Amino acid sequence: MTDRSHEERNAAATARLKAFVARLSDEDLSRQTDGDWTIAAGLAHIAHWDRTVALRWSAATAAGTLPIGIPLEIGHVINDASLPIWLAVPPRTAAEVAVAAADETDALLAALPDPALDAVVAAGVPRVLDRSVHRNAHLDDLERALAG
């Protein structure tokens, strides 16, 4: 039996993201977090990686393959290269895009056939299914920054 428990976790993380975004003022969105990061940049980062997962799934499905994992060091390079762009996005837009990306990615993942899910789990790349891990880790950091 295919494990689809990631769908519930993804939905819960998306609900948490929506609640977080809904309570943010424009001032909150512009608040500095770590280094040059802001809360809005953190939300743009979440959106970027959700959209990346969705696009990887779309490309893999069209090619009849599975999405592959991205090495952590490559992810860090992508984040460093993208930060100036994320900081340039209007803060409220970054928040809206994060919510839209989460919704779209959750819908795409929920529509995947069981064999694709089973193959990804067997290949050891569950982050392309369970987006809650990434979203929640960053939401934890953003909530701490907002409280601090």
- We report the CATH number of the domain holding residue 87 as 1.20.120.450
From the list 2, 40, 42, 18, the residue with the least C-alpha distance to 106 is 18
pLDDT by residue for the chain (148 residues), tens only, comes to 899 999 999 999 999 999 999 999 999 999 999 899 999 999 999 999 999 999 999 999 999 998 887 888 999 999 999 999 999 999 999 999 999 999 999 999 999 999 999 999 898 888 899 999 999 999 999 999 999 8
Strand partners, 32: 38
User: 94 in helix, strand or coil?
Assistant: helix
What is the total count of domains within the chain? 1
d(C-alpha 27, C-alpha 5), whole Å? 36
Quote the domain boundaries for residue 45. 5-147
Residue labelled with tokens 């998306």: 14
